[in-house]
Structures are given as structure tokens and as C-alpha cells.
Amino acid sequence: MNSTLGSPANIIGILFSVILVSALLIWVERRLLAVWQDRLGPNRVGPFGLMQVMADMIKMFFKEDWIPSFTDRWVFVLAPTIVFITMLTGFAVIPFAPGVGIIDFNFGLLYFLALTSLSVYSIVLAGYASNNKYALLGGLRAAAQTVSYEVFMGISIMGVVMLAGTFNLREIVEAQRDGWFIGPQFLGFLIFLIAAIAESRRAPLDLPEAEQELVAGFHLEYSGMKFGMFFVGEYLGITLSSAVIVTLFFGGWLGPGLPPLVWFCLKTSIGIMFFILLRGALPRPRYDQLMRFGWKVLLPAGLLNLLLTGAIVLSLHG
């Protein structure tokens, strides 16, 4: 293990950068959607509207942190902290660059899958504790959606594991020195991308909080900083998913000319912008369409990709 991994400078720098990026994504999303939809977007508060993020944060800090009397108080308070902590700790295994990271161990990919699974507890508990039928329906939708698409996500990355021969994310990056896995694992990449959108509950797959059907879904009764934790947790999830996609399929920090950390940040930024573009480009499907597409299309496609990759690996190394 590299001796610089896990150093205080690495831990503080990564956590500070991740939280800062997640906060700035509020502004980035608004500006990019405005450009793509031929609107102005934030442009009044500070240069280019940059201070709009600070204004929103100040408003959130000072807004009344109300807990309805009909809720399950302690579960209601606990729920938003779960999604924030699970998404934030997921960055512990991300290999940003050689010598830049928090921890390096052989099951980093399984660690990522475990944390994405745990994050759904936040949504389910929020829906249950709110004692509101719309919030409960949103929580139930999130549970079914996340559990289903976890299956497809897990199957989609098995091809990468076969090619690299490891669950270690740093070793997966090193295995791509002769070519990124996006080529031989393009089908796996598509499945992983769709599953990541579904698990992060981003538009157009934001059905657990579909405002036309569920008002605001699982966070209907939340306000103040507790709502803010759900909000930031969503952007943390986008950043984490983009970083994992870059690590698994686009060579991580590998690239010519520029420093490794710059390459990783550049690729991850493109992934984040793609997540944002989807929100302004695609309509939301019905819930039954989403579940049917997962089990009838993504599952067979993932198994086919697994079988083909296994056959190729065996023919080359058998």
C-alpha cells in the first residue's frame, strides 16, 4: 500500500473537495440546464450567479427545522444522516490518482456496492417515519427500485472484474493501461450507467419523489438542514457514481500529458455533466415501465455480457 494513502492531508483534502464540489453542483446544474434550454439561469447574486449557492445555504441554515408532531421523531431525524454518511464514506475507496486516496484494499468494489445498498435505508426510513401516505409510497418505490437495480449493477461489473482479475479499484485502473474497459465492456457500461441513475434517484428515474404523483415523495415532511442533507446526499451520489464509472470503464487517472489527478477530475466532471443533461433531455417513465425494463431487458443483457466475457477470458487464458 502507498504510504501516503490515508494520511491526514489526503483525508481532509478529499472530504473538503467532495463536499465543496457537491455544493457547487447546485449552481452548475442550474447554469448548464439554462444553457441547454436557452435560459439565463442564476445571474443576479454575485458574478455569474455564483453567490446563489451561498444564499441558498444561508436560507437553509436559518429556515425553521420543523419536526411534525405526528412523525416517529428519532427515526425521522436519523434518516437524512444515513444517506449523507453512506455517500460521503463511499469516496474512501476511490483511487483519485497514484498516492491520492484514503484507503486501498482488495474489496473496494464490494465496499462501494455495500454502501449504495445501505443508502436505501435512509429513503425507506424517511418515508416510514414521516407518517404520510405520499412519503411512504415514495419510500416503498425507492426500496423496490434500488433493490432491483442493485442486481443489474452487480452483474454489469462482473465483466470488469473478470478482465482485471480483482475487486481492487486501483488494480482495475492499472489493468486498463493497455486499453480502457469501455471498449470490451460497452454493454456492461450501459447497464451500470442506467443502474447508477436509478440508484441515485436522478431524473428521469426520480420516481420515489415524482412531484406529479407523490408531491415530493419521501422527503415531503422535511425542511431546513434535514432536507439539505437529502439534497447534498443526492449530489454526493452523482459525484460518487461518476467517479466509479471513470474508474471501472474509462481508465481512472490514466491519460497522456496531464497529471493523473487532473485526468481523473476531468473525466469525472464529464460524467457529472452527463447526469445533469439527462434531467433536461429525457421524460420520466411510469414506474411499471421502469421495473419491467430492468427485469426484462437489463437482467438478460447483463447475463449475456457476463457469459460472453467469461467465454472470451477462458479462451484467452484457458
Q: Classify residue 259 as left (phi > 0), alpha (psi -120 to 50) or beta.
A: beta
Helix (H, G, I), strand (E, B) or coil at 100: strand
pLDDT at 136: 84
In the prediction, which pLDDT does 318 show?
62
Which residues make Cβ contacts (< 8 Å) with residue 277, sequence separation at least 6? 32, 36
Average pLDDT over residues 177-190: 94
Whole-number pLDDT of residue 214: 66
Q: What is the pLDDT of residue 57?
A: 81
pLDDT tens digits, residue range 100-114?
A: 889 888 899 999 999
Whether the bond between 204 and the residue before it is cis, its omega within 30 degrees of 0, is yes
- What are the residues facing 97 on neighbouring strands? 100
Q: Give 74: exposed, middle or buried? Use CB within 10 Å, 0-12, 13-18, 19+.
A: exposed
Q: For residue 64, what is the DSSP state?
A: -
What was the pLDDT predicted at 212?
A: 65
| Local structure of 97: helix, strand or coil | strand
Percent over 90 (pLDDT), the chain? 39
List the one residue out of 101, 265, 281, 294 whose CA is nearest residue 195. 294
Comparison of pLDDT for 293 and 122, the residue scoring more: 293
Confidence of residue 151 (pLDDT cuts 50, 70, 90): very high
What the block records as the C-alpha cell of 245 is 464509472
Residue ranges of domains in the chain: 8-317
Cβ pair 204, 284 in contact under 8 A? yes
The rounded distance, in Å, linking the Cα atoms of 162 and 124 is 34
